[in-house]
Amino acid sequence: MRVLYALFIFLVVCSQPGLGQNNPIGNERSICIDNANALLDEALALMQQHYYKKDSVQWEPLIKKARTLLDQSSDCESAYEAVDWCFDQLKEEHSFIMSPIKASIYSGNVNGPKIPTSSKALHGAIIHELIEDDIGYMKVPWIATTNETICTGYADSLQSIIKSFDQRDINKWIIDLRTNTGGNCWPMLAGLGPLLGNGTHAYFVSSSENIPVRYHNGTVMQGRNSRCTVSTPYTLKSDEKTIIVLVGKNTSSAGEIVALSFKGQPNVYLYGQPTAGLTTANATYSLSNGSMLVLTVCKEADRHGKIIQGKIEPDQLIHSSASSAKDVVKDSAVMFLQAN
């Protein structure tokens, strides 16, 4: 089964000469243009086979125009632009193509060029605090890698924070996803597993199947396949808890599948503003030059099987001003939890 992600993940790739030389001359230009056309053909073939709206696309005129655009270009990098042009025509905001260098970085390929030496370049800062001695606050950031060590460390950090709060008998929680722009959803879900609890929390929905997203004792699964496991799973001392999930316009893709996984649970409320609306799932496909096609292949549904289309609406809509020094969304969540 191909791994599905809420925004993008990248597999280990290898480089191939050709694409990547701007404005070459003579025979070199001929070679790289041939490679550019081959790359476009690969991407288009995968789109026709796997794109989740493939049956509603008029492929023949789209492909003809994309090839014409590439043929008229003098830049060997234009295959990438042609693929992006296709997605623009399809009004597809969640699919894209990545260069070999970026694919290597996100996959954590140690043999690839320009690989970050620090995990800080591959995920945002995990921030937590104890509020008024009885509310556990966690900011859960984006993570943009599939490197197993980094993903496990990220998930372990979240469970460690949850454990430290739970050992202090905290049963009121705020999970802040407002700056979670996406990436790899699996370590996010694995790390938040003690708060999600064992069970099925969402679905990836295609024309042929519904694939459950499950958490069980430290492992998050896509159907029957394990996607991320923490080093030492933690279980809450009590099932009694109240959770407020903070969301907003920058809660996107993988951040949205996390919000969706909490939505509908007893005593769980979403506060803030509507999310970005990238509530579809992507699969990744390696291309011959080492680049990666990140393609939307299915829809997403909540724990009850209801398909989500577009933005996730919060349970409590709260307007905030960027110019204000106060965090009214967070403050509203604190006030609710203190009153209950």
Does residue 198 have a pLDDT over 60?
yes
Q: Could you report the per-residue pLDDT of 160-185, keeping only the tens digit for each?
A: 999 999 999 999 999 999 999 999 99
Q: Could you report the per-residue pLDDT of 212-238, keeping only the tens digit for each?
A: 999 999 999 999 999 999 999 999 999
Q: How confident is the model at residue 3, as a pLDDT?
A: 59
CATH 3.90.226.10 residue ranges for the chain: 119-281+302-339
Task: Give the bridge partners for 228, in sequence order.
Answer: 220
250 CA to centre of own chain = 12
Does residue 12 have a pLDDT over 70?
no
Of the listed ranges 19-28, 123-132, 310-319, the least confidently predicted one is 19-28
Within 13 Å, how many C-alpha atoms sit on residue 170's CB side?
25
Our CA angle for 313, 319, 320, nearest 5°, is 130
Which residue bears the tokens 């008229």?
A: 72
Does residue 114 have a pLDDT over 60?
no
CATH of domain 119-281+302-339: 3.90.226.10
User: What is residue 85's three-state secondary structure?
Assistant: helix
- Cα separation, 261 vs 245, in Å, equals 11
In angstroms, the Cα distances linking 205 to 62, 92, 202, 223 are 26, 17, 10, 12
The pLDDT mean for the chain works out to 88
Does residue 33 have a pLDDT over 90?
no
Task: Give the bridge partners for 242, in sequence order.
Answer: 172
